[in-house]
Copies of this chain bind each other. A is one copy, B any other.
Amino acid sequence: MAKRSVHGQMEILDEHTSAHIAELFTAFGDTSRVRILSCLSMGEQNVGALAKSVGISESAVSHHMRQLRHLRLVSTRKAGREVYYRVDDPHILTLFWQGVNHIREEE
Interface residues of A (CB under 8 A from B): 3, 5-10, 12-13, 15, 17-26, 28-35, 38-39, 41-42, 53-54, 72, 91-95, 97-100, 102-104, 106-107
Interface of A is mostly: helix
Q: Which of B21, B26, B34 contacts A13 (CB 8 A)?
A: B34
Contact status of A100 and B13, CB under 8 A, knowing A18-B35, A29-B22: yes
Interchain CB contact under 8 A, B99 and A25: yes
Taking A12-B38, A18-B31, A24-B103 as known contacts, 14 extra A-B pairs with beta carbons closer than 8 A to each other, sorted by chain A number, are A7-B94, A12-B39, A12-B53, A13-B34, A17-B103, A19-B34, A20-B103, A20-B107, A21-B103, A22-B33, A25-B28, A25-B29, A26-B29, A98-B98
Question: In the bound complex, what is the Cα–Cα distance between A96 and B9 (angstroms)?
Answer: 12
Interchain CB contact under 8 A, B53 and A21: no
Contact status of A29 and B29, CB under 8 A, knowing A21-B99, A38-B18, A103-B17: yes
Question: In the bound complex, what is the Cα–Cα distance between A107 and B29 (angstroms)?
Answer: 22
